[in-house]
Structure 1
Amino acid sequence: MDSGFDYWAAKAALDWQIELGADEAIGDAPVDRYALDAARAKPTAPVAAPNAVPVPAAPDDPVAEARRLAAGARDLGGLAAAMEGFEHCALKAGARSFVFCDGNPDARLMIVGEAPGREEDRAGRPFVGRAGQLLDRMLAAIGMARAAPDAAHAVYITNVLPWRPPENRRPERAEIAMFLPFLEAHIALARPEVLVLMGNTPCDALLGRSGITRMRGSWTEVLGVPALPMFHPAFLLRQPQAKREAWADLLDVQARLRGRG
């Protein structure tokens, strides 16, 4: 069959196509691209490609899932299990330990901090580093201790987040939001008489505002419980001149627990 090309003309045409970047034969017959464009303009039903990887469905709303799990917890053990199994927070993958609480859950006083640091991540308990040691000394000054067996002198401690943020950075808003339902359930199940909010993060989570320098020393309420914002011990280590205000706040907590607040 005469194609209209002699050998040299055909070779020249092939060389020209190779120079343009055509390096593979797609079909034996020519394709009318104008006809293809017309066909593409017509709506057609989507066809799945063979061996296509299915696109996963969008994940559930983390905050809604946290609310569901928190509402289902009937005791502190159930709440801890629900939080540890919560898979929506990326911090879990980089942390060593799940840090839930420390102290006596029957304590009249409950302290809420920010998040675990390096020492807390290693120990699996909140407030065990330098800031935690300072906190223990502060509490001892008013006759309180996390290890006290009686509820009147005991302290129960937790954090907004149970997983350590990388480089001890401040928790992000999305992280706070997804753990807030757990924190609210934690307070409801522990039933403290007095709450201390240590630093900006618990104030942001439970009160919806921050600015601890302005807020400290002023009583407010969280879930029906009297709550006092205070400086975080880590801040006091950096700013020891603020210990005077912290001591005044501790005396205020002591007076409230004794019924004089």
Structure 2
Amino acid sequence: MESALDYWSARALLDWQIEMGADEAMLDAPLDRYTLTDARPAMAATKQAAPHAPPRLEEPDPVAIARAAADAAPDLEALADAMEGFEFCDLGRGARSFVFAGGRVQARVMLLLDPPHREEDRAGVPVAGPAAVLLERMLGAIGLSVEAPDTDSAVYMAPVLPWRSPGDRAPDPKDLAMMRPFLDRHIELAGPEILVVMGSVACAALMKGGGLHRLRGRWDKVLGRPALPIFSPAHLMANPLAKREAWADLLLLRSLLDGEAR
């Protein structure tokens, strides 16, 4: 006759069964668990609804925000404040200067320039250094000047982006797109009769149909105004042979000015 298990042997066997996964004692008679009130519901009824995904937050639209801010600006001073406070364009965080405009407001001709480079960023003006000297010579050759006191002979100018890109690299098209509403409003508030789109970046920002080399020499329309693409002073300094084409473009500008004056 076998002897009964002592406490420690029984405890060891119980621990072993638990480790093997036997976590409930068996009865001496069959048990229909489906008749119990606390029985687990059928599998089909226990399927839980998939947890609701958190609502997706819509990302802000920088272009729409820029358009609203630009449309709300009643004058150039307010527009400059709105542009400088626009937080979606990262270029403003790395640039030294905010370059808004130069020349004479309400001039007949408005120059739309490439973004500031190093010298413009340091000086805080649209054109600086040797490029500014060449630009004044170009304008002077057809009777215009940045410093002219009268609106017929003066020019007004603004870059298509008010901040320098790091390393003077070509700006991201997204930056050009988000700042475009400010540029359009700038043109409306300045009220020029003629636009001169000066530089490859300015041309890409405002005109369609190809690059500057393809479009130059032909009048087009921007915001309902005559627009002439032309090489920038920086390009002409790096490519002196292009000065002949630039002179032809300047004569086109002078012809239109003279034609409107008659």
Normalising by the smaller structure, the TM-score range is 0.7 to 0.9
C-alpha distance in structure 1 between counterparts of 2:12 and 2:78, whole Å: 81
Residue 196 of structure 1 is matched in structure 2 by: 196
Report if the CA contact (8 A) 1:201-1:210 is conserved. Answer: no
Identify unmatched segments of 5+ residues in structure 1: 6-37, 49-54
C-alpha distance in structure 2 between counterparts of 1:230 and 1:155, whole Å: 15
Q: Which amino acid aligns with 2:230?
A: M
C-alpha distance in structure 2 between counterparts of 1:84 and 1:214, whole Å: 33
Structure 1 residue 171 corresponds to structure 2 residue 164:
no
Q: CA deviation at 1:205?
A: 1.8
Q: CA deviation at 1:79?
A: 0.8
What TM-score do you get using the length of structure 1 for normalisation? 0.78
Q: CA deviation at 1:152?
A: 0.9
Residue 101 of structure 1 is matched in structure 2 by: 101
The superposition leaves residues 106-142 of structure 1 with CA deviations (integer Å, 9 ceiling, x where unpaired) of 1111000110111111111101133222112111222
Report if the CA contact (8 A) 2:63-2:177 is conserved. Answer: yes
Q: CA deviation at 1:74?
A: 1.0
What TM-score do you get using the length of structure 2 for normalisation? 0.78
C-alpha distance in structure 1 between counterparts of 2:223 and 2:131, whole Å: 27
Structure 1 residues 127 and 46, CA, compared in 2 at 3 Å: closer, same or farther? Answer: same
Report if the CA contact (8 A) 1:112-1:158 is conserved. Answer: yes
Q: Secondary structure at the match of 2:192?
A: coil
C-alpha distance in structure 1 between counterparts of 2:108 and 2:12, whole Å: 97
Report if the CA contact (8 A) 1:108-1:151 is conserved. Answer: yes
The within-5 A match list for 1:105-124 is 105-124=105-124
C-alpha distance in structure 2 between counterparts of 1:47 and 1:258, whole Å: 66
Report if the CA contact (8 A) 1:143-1:153 is conserved. Answer: yes
Structure 1 residues 150 and 62, CA, compared in 2 at 3 Å: closer, same or farther? Answer: same
Q: CA deviation at 1:143?
A: 1.9
Q: CA deviation at 1:92?
A: 0.8
Quick check: 247-256 or 92-101, which moved more?
247-256
Q: CA deviation at 1:212?
A: 1.3
Residue 210 of structure 2 is matched in structure 1 by: 210
Structure 1 residues 255 and 45, CA, compared in 2 at 3 Å: closer, same or farther? Answer: same
Identify unmatched segments of 5+ residues in structure 2: 1-6, 15-42
Q: Secondary structure at the match of 1:226?
A: strand
Q: Secondary structure at the match of 1:227?
A: strand
Q: CA deviation at 1:144?
A: 1.3
The superposition leaves residues 139-182 of structure 1 with CA deviations (integer Å, 9 ceiling, x where unpaired) of 12222111111101111010110111011111111011001111
Q: Which amino acid aligns with 1:133?
A: V
C-alpha distance in structure 2 between counterparts of 1:174 and 1:224, whole Å: 24
Q: Secondary structure at the match of 1:258?
A: helix
The within-5 A match list for 1:1-261 is 2=11, 42-43=48-49, 45=51, 57-259=57-259
C-alpha distance in structure 1 between counterparts of 2:123 and 2:13, whole Å: 84
Report if the CA contact (8 A) 2:146-2:155 is conserved. Answer: yes
Quick check: 69-78 or 203-212, which moved more?
203-212
Alignment RMSD? 2.8
Report if the CA contact (8 A) 2:209-2:215 is conserved. Answer: no
- Please identify the structure whose Cα radius of gyration is greater: 2
Fraction of identical pairs, as percent: 50
C-alpha distance in structure 1 between counterparts of 2:117 and 2:211, whole Å: 22
The superposition leaves residues 208-243 of structure 1 with CA deviations (integer Å, 9 ceiling, x where unpaired) of 343211211101111111110001111111110110
Structure 1 residues 44 and 222, CA, compared in 2 at 3 Å: closer, same or farther? Answer: closer
